[in-house]
A and B are shown apart, each in its own frame.
Chain A
Amino acid sequence: MAEVVTDLDEREEQLVAFQLAGETYGVNIFHINEIIRLREITQIPRTPPDTEGVINLRGKIVPIIDLRKRLGLPPGEHTSGTRVIIVTLDEYTVGLIVDGVNGVLRIPHASIEPPSELISGVDADYVSGVGKSGEDLVILLNLQKVLRVPVAAAA
């Protein structure tokens, strides 16, 4: 019995789901440090347009990117629902500005499909798959690609 349960767990993906330009996106909860409200961002000159700047997160300097801009989605207004998801991948800790956070979702691996042409507007490179949660489609983000470091990639 116990084995079966473990098996099930392993076949499930735990995601933090959030809204972006009317779609639901998900990032594996493993990479999420915390979710904060938008706060004052210090802009940095000579950085790419999707880099909003840096914030002071309890004494740490954390860069913030506008996820809409990074994914090539139309720009949106910041509202009271706007949140910053602080994610960490390897040595990169970055804050992603999103329209709103839904909560934690569990999606069975079996229902996740590879990225298809279905998702319009978003570069397929940034998507690792599409999952179903009830009736909703959840676009799973490929953090590795989203957090790419432009200069390092070029160098």
Chain B
Amino acid sequence: MMDDMSQYLGVFLDEATEQLELLERDILLLEQNPSQELLNGIFRAAHTLKGSSRAMGFTAMGELTHAMEDVFDQLRQNKLTVTRELVDALFAGLDMLKAMTEEIAAQGATELDASELTARLRQTLEQKTGAAPEGTPPPAPATASPETTAADPEDTAPPVPAFTLTDAQKTAVQEAQRTGLTLLTLQVRLAPDCLMKSVRAMMVLQALEQVGTLLATRPDEDALDNEEFENHFDVLIATEREDDAVAAAARGVNEVQDVRVRPFTLPQDTPATTGPAPEPAAPSRREARNTPPVVDERRIDAGPEARGKSPEEVQKIAAEKKQAQTVRVDVTRLDTLLNLVGELVMDRNRIAQLCGQLSLQVAANDILDSLQETAAHVGRITDELQEEIMKARMLPISNVFSRFPRMVRDLAQKLNKEVDFLVEGGETELDRSVIEVIGDPLIHMLRNSVDHGIELPEEREQAGKPRIGTVRLAACHAENHIVITIEDDGRGMDPEKLRASAVKKGLLTEEAAARLSDREALNIIFMPGFSTAKVVSDVSGRGVGMDIVRSNLQKLGAQIDIESRPGAGSRFTIKMPLTLAIIRGLLVHVAGGVYAMPLASVVETIRIAESDIHLVNHQEVIMQRGRVLPIIRLREVFQLDQGVTPAERALYMMEPASAEPVMDPDAPAEAPAKRSRRSGARAAQRTTRSSAARKTTRAASTETADVAVVRERASEPDAVRYVVIVGHAGKHYGLMVDTLIGEQEVVIKTLGKFLGEIPGISGATILGDGRVALIMDINGVVACAAAEKGKVHAA
């Protein structure tokens, strides 16, 4: 049995996950602003879920959904009101359903017991609705059956032998005719050996919903749900499509043997409707599932609301049609495609380079011309291909954001806080590789905002603020990056308190803490072992600290910036690349090797003289626009001939990334300024194609890696030094390189498991000439430099 079902499991799980997400979102909206339209949607989602889980044999899931569906039904009929307790109960149910779905996904079955929850929901129903007398209209049968959770009264309804339309359905039919839609009956015949008839039937109905509006089925939908039919069933549909298109939609479902389409005409004896005004037919499919009188009642309830929505319904249908034009692609296939394009990008670079070399050696001729033309064309096509594939991998960030409102709500409730959670820019798209990893850090930061940022309502009132705190999560694109901001209007962070706290915890010396600017002091929260909460709550205390959050984000090439005003709130700004596969990098030479620095971290490049460098407190610095900029000589960080033992290496790895406050006493941090290049950095001038960069590569590679230069630096005060200013943790550092090569798009390749993590290096890329360049991890470089300093002073 399970084997037979397993082939539908994927479909079922996809659908269930979708419906659960929908339910969660809508129940949350419901709590804020109940509307009939919303309830209809929720009811439909619950109903679909009930049907499919029962069809798959997950009875417990079906029962629980059924109980929830009944609650929604009562809400819809205004017999229940939305209360916090009710929403809590529904969320509890939802969580259970999610857990069940996960278990099913993992092991094909679920043993979770939902009977208690089901009973709780039933109880809610009983209490709230009182004992609605059974059998007398207008009770909905489902809701009026608190005595049993096992038997759905609708289940027992015998299959209807023909299209006996309810008045409401007739109204819908007439309305459809009036608006010029075609009415069709479809006779769908399933293959005789079809194993999961009800699943197939549901799939057919879903397919048909894409092309029109279902008005009725024969037998009714519950009978279809429960497999109470032979191998065929009939569907009445209102559509603006051709017969063939409708039939094709149904035939598209597996194991559908035959579909016959006939026009439908309303029997003559139908009196013109005198009841409620005509309304769009869309909701009728779900409404029509009960016995006629009950359906009528429900439709009247739902009518006035639903009627006003008709333009939206139209839009919805249009959206559904649009959806039908998309294809689901396995993500591994997209990954493979991107890898292949990555190879192509590298070969493109190589071909361009070879063409350049050839043109220097061979006198101009036609073949060379066409070769160069072709190479240029291949280059353009590759660029476009890369762009398109990157786009295909993009997902709206709402995929991540959608799970936050619920979390914030639960959290606020637990902490007795009142929080208005605003989400903006959910449509902002980014690569799925980023989507996968951005969720956890954001969860933690949001928890922090609610837990530590937002005050209790009473406190807020005392401070003259509105009772309800606001947490705002927003995403937007900025150049080739995505910027995510998390903002709250809570108590903010007091630099003075942070300093004191860091000293008390032994994270900083009093002296070092006093030297921090207010802005730098905010970064104390990212120090390992720091937590501002007076009491470690089970909320933010759970899991990781902000230090881990920051280092995880930095691994993704993200920069975090904090702004905060005591009493007014805090804002965290995360800037990160749209993809983890390809980045723009600044290529530089260091000690004979070519390195790529993620452009996201680069603020500007400058040229200085050796004599500009001063030694302050064992730290080399330069003055730049009146500010002190610590200098890190990358030659010393990346010297090659010095072997490192595994033990030493492990030491580097453990070095906390935030040793830097000690290194940099006075430099006031500023928000990453707009990248401005000085004339001294001519070599790094932006090049759209990297041809200019490649020329400099060749020129620069002739330069010998003379490590002795480093040792004798004091002896040549006029020597020109190139410094790349990078922003790291809200501070700027000057990384001294041998030469600047240029800006280029680099495909990130992992160094592989064998090498593991290497301090200061996050990966590698392959250059146009086939050589390997290492990608710098700015975070690691700064940590290495700090560790190096520590070693020297200890010695």
Contact = CB atoms under 8 A, between A and B. Distances in A.
Interface string B731-773: 0000000000000000001111111111111001010001111
A42 B640 contact: no
Interface stretch (A23-31, A50-58, A119-127, A129-137): A50-58
A47 B649 CA distance: 7
Given A47-B644, A48-B643, A63 B755 contact: yes
B754 A45 contact: no
B653 interface: yes
A110 interface: no
B233 interface: no
A93 B752 contact: yes
Interface string B635-667: 001111001111101101100000000000000
A51 to B, nearest CB: 7
Contacts of A55: 772
Contacts of B751: 44, 54, 61, 63
A62 B754 CA distance: 9
Which range holds the interface residue count of chain B? 35 or more
Interface in B3-32: none
A93 to B, nearest CB: 7
Contact of B645 (A43, A44, A48, A149): A48
Given A46-B759, A56-B766, A151-B757, A62 B752 contact: yes
A151 B645 CA distance: 10
Given A49-B643, A56-B771, A61-B764, A44 B759 contact: no
Nearest to B763: A61
Contact of A151 (B639, B650, B774): B650
A40 interface: yes
B753 A149 contact: yes
A147 interface: yes
Contacts of A4: none
B638 A61 contact: no
B346 interface: yes
Contacts of B346: 59
Nearest to B764: A61
Contacts of A3: none
A46 B649 contact: yes
Contacts of A51: 755
B593 A46 contact: no
A91 interface: yes
Given A48-B649, A56-B766, A42 B756 contact: no
Contacts of A43: 592-593, 640
In terms of DSSP, what is the predominant structure of the interface of chain A? mixed
B639 A45 contact: yes
A18 to B, nearest CB: 20
B42 interface: no
Interface residues of A, number: 31
Contacts of B771: 40, 42, 56
Contact of A61 (B645, B646, B772): B772
A118 interface: no
A92 B764 CA distance: 17
Interface in B316-360: 342-343, 346
Q: Which of B342, B343, B346, B770: most chain A Cβ within 10 A?
A: B770
A154 interface: yes
Contacts of A1: none
B643 A44 contact: no
A123 to B, nearest CB: 15
A55 B643 CA distance: 19
A152 B774 contact: no
Contact of A48 (B591, B646, B772): B646
A149 to B, nearest CB: 5
A16 to B, nearest CB: 19
A84 to B, nearest CB: 14
A150 to B, nearest CB: 4
B603 interface: no
Nearest to B340: A59
Nearest to A94: B754
B784 interface: yes
A56 B593 contact: no
Contact of A46 (B749, B760, B766): B760
B754 A92 contact: yes
Given A44-B758, A45-B639, A59 B766 contact: yes
A65 to B, nearest CB: 8
Contacts of B647: 154
A121 B650 CA distance: 27
B752 A42 contact: no
Contact of A56 (B637, B645, B754, B772): B772
Given A44-B761, A48-B644, A49-B643, A56 B770 contact: yes
Residue from A44, A45, A150 with most neighbouring chain B CB atoms (10 Å): A45
A59 B771 CA distance: 10
Contact of B649 (A54, A62, A150): A150
B650 to A, nearest CB: 5
A92 B647 CA distance: 21
Nearest to B634: A45
Contacts of A40: 771
Interface string B569-597: 00000000000000000000001110000
Nearest to A154: B650
Nearest to B347: A59
Nearest to A60: B749
A126 to B, nearest CB: 16
A55 B774 CA distance: 11
A46 B758 contact: yes
Contacts of A155: 650
Contacts of B640: 43, 45
B770 to A, nearest CB: 6
Interface string A89-111: 00111100000000000000000
Given A42-B773, A59-B346, A93 B644 contact: no
B764 A45 contact: no
B755 to A, nearest CB: 5
Interface centre among B650, B750, B752 (most CB of A within 10 A): B752
Return the 7 tightest CB-CB contacts between A and B, nearest first: A49-B643, A150-B646, A42-B772, A151-B756, A45-B638, A92-B754, A59-B343
9 contacts: A42-B773, A44-B758, A46-B649, A47-B755, A49-B644, A63-B755, A151-B646, A152-B756, A154-B646
Given A54-B751, A54-B755, A150-B646, 5 more contacts: A49-B644, A56-B772, A149-B754, A150-B756, A152-B756
Interface of B: 342-343, 346, 591-593, 637-640, 643-647, 649-650, 652-653, 749-761, 764, 766, 770-774, 784
